[in-house]
Amino acid sequence: MDEYFAALETGQGFIARRDVLAVGLDDRFIRTMLRTGTWTRVRKGAYCPTVVWVNLDANERHRRLARAVLHSHGDAVVLSRVSGLLMRGGCDVWRIDLSRVHVTRRDGRSGSVERDVVHHEGPITDDDIEIVDGLPVLKEARCVIETIARAGVERGMVVADSALHAGRVDEDDLNEAHARVSRRQGNRTVDLTLRLADGRAESVGESRARYVYWSQGLPRPEVQYHVYDRDGMLVGITDLAWPRRGLLFEFDGKVKYGRLLKPGQEPGDVVFEEKRREDALRRATGFSVERATWQELSNPALMARRARQRMTGDHSA
C-alpha cells in the first residue's frame, strides 16, 4: 500500500482523497495519517507524505498545490500568472506571494478568491493555452505580463529579465501580450517594467541592482559589459557598467560564488580570485569597481551615494 501511495505522489505530485477511497480505505485512514504526521494536507482532498513535503522549496510546494487545484476544478480553469510561470520553471519570482494558486476561468464564470486559489476572468481561446507537463497553462508571455501588472516594478523587473533570459519569450512576445491586456489594472506598471527589462541580466541580484540605480535617478547602465585589454583579450564581463562615467558594478551574492566554485575550491578561494579579477578590470579600464551585497540592495540611498562618489568624468573620448 505504501508503494501505491508513493507512486501516486511521484506521478501526480499529491495523493487525492479519491485515490484513497479507490483502494477501499476511508476518511478515518486519512485523518490518522494526518494526525500522526505521516501525511501533510496540500489542500482539501489532496495530501503529500510529510517526509517529502518538508524537503520541498516554496516553488515546488506551489507546483504541487497547483496540480491539486487543477485536479479539483477540471477543465473549468487554466493555470495563469505566477502559477503558470512556476509550472514551466526557469523564471525567477522573487518575493511574489505563492500562498495561492492563480487560475483563469474557461467557463465564463466570474472571478473569486478562495483560501488557496485566485480565480481570474479574462478572454481565453484555445490558442492562448499550452500544455505544460500535462497541464493546461496560459502562454508564457501572457503569464509574465499579468504577473508584472500586480507585482510592481522591482519584482516585475526580476520576472521580465529572467523570462527574457530563459529565451522562451522575446520583447515582441511580451509587447504583443501587453497589447491584449492593456486596458486592465497595472497597465502603467507593465509599461515601465518592459522599458527597463533586459534579458542579459543573469540573476535576481543584478535585476534588483538595476532597479535600485534607476529608482535613485542614476543613468541607465550597460548590462553584462565586456572588458578587454589593450591586446583585445577579454579580461572579464561585469554585471553592470557606466563606461562614460568610469564605473563598473559587480553583485556579490553567495549564490554567485557557489556558481563559480570549481572542483576542490573553497568559497575563500573564489573570493581571492574575484579580487584578482577586479584588479585586472581596473588595470584594463582605469575605472572604479563598485560592489553590493543582498543586504545593501535594501539600502538604495547608500548604493546610489557610493556609485555617484565613484563616478568620474566623461570617458567617451
CB atoms within 10 A of CB 218: 18
Predicted confidence at residue 317, as pLDDT, reads: 43
Residues 30 and 79 in one domain: no
Residues 262 and 188 in one domain: no
Residue 206 lies inside a defined structural domain of this protein: no
Predicted confidence at residue 255, as pLDDT, reads: 46
Residue 296 lies inside a defined structural domain of this protein: yes
> For each of the chain's 317 residues, which pLDDT tens digit applies?
678 888 888 899 999 999 999 999 999 999 999 999 999 999 999 999 999 999 999 999 999 999 999 999 999 999 999 999 999 999 999 999 999 999 999 988 889 999 999 999 988 999 999 999 999 999 999 999 999 999 999 999 999 999 999 999 999 999 999 998 766 667 899 999 999 999 999 999 999 999 999 999 999 999 999 999 999 999 999 999 999 999 999 998 654 444 554 565 555 555 667 788 899 999 999 999 999 999 999 999 999 999 999 998 655 54
HSE-up (13 A, CA, CB side) for residue 95:
11
Residue 89 lies inside a defined structural domain of this protein: yes
Residue 211 lies inside a defined structural domain of this protein: no
Residues 192 and 85 in one domain: yes
Cell numbers representing residue 157 in the block: 523587473
Residues 163 and 240 in one domain: no
Residue 204 lies inside a defined structural domain of this protein: no
Residues 75 and 146 in one domain: yes
Residues 142 and 223 in one domain: no
- Give the end of a domain, one of 30, 53, 76: 53
- Which DSSP state fits 248? E
Place of cell 534607476: 214
Q: Which residues pair with 249 in a beta bridge?
A: 240, 290
| Domains in the chain, number | 3
Predicted confidence at residue 10, as pLDDT, reads: 87
Residues 191 and 64 in one domain: yes
Cell numbers representing residue 187 in the block: 497597465
- Give the end of a domain, one of 196, 229, 250: 196
- Alpha-carbon Rg for the chain, nearest whole angstrom, is 24
CA distance 15 to 111: 28
Residues 77 and 149 in one domain: yes
CA distance 201 to 160: 10
Instruction: Print the domain residue range for 275.
Output: 217-310
Predicted confidence at residue 273, as pLDDT, reads: 78
Residues 151 and 251 in one domain: no
Strand, helix or coil for residue 235: strand
Residue 73 lies inside a defined structural domain of this protein: yes
Predicted confidence at residue 160, as pLDDT, reads: 98
Residues 235 and 185 in one domain: no
Residues 284 and 297 in one domain: yes
Residues 137 and 78 in one domain: yes
Predicted confidence at residue 276, as pLDDT, reads: 87
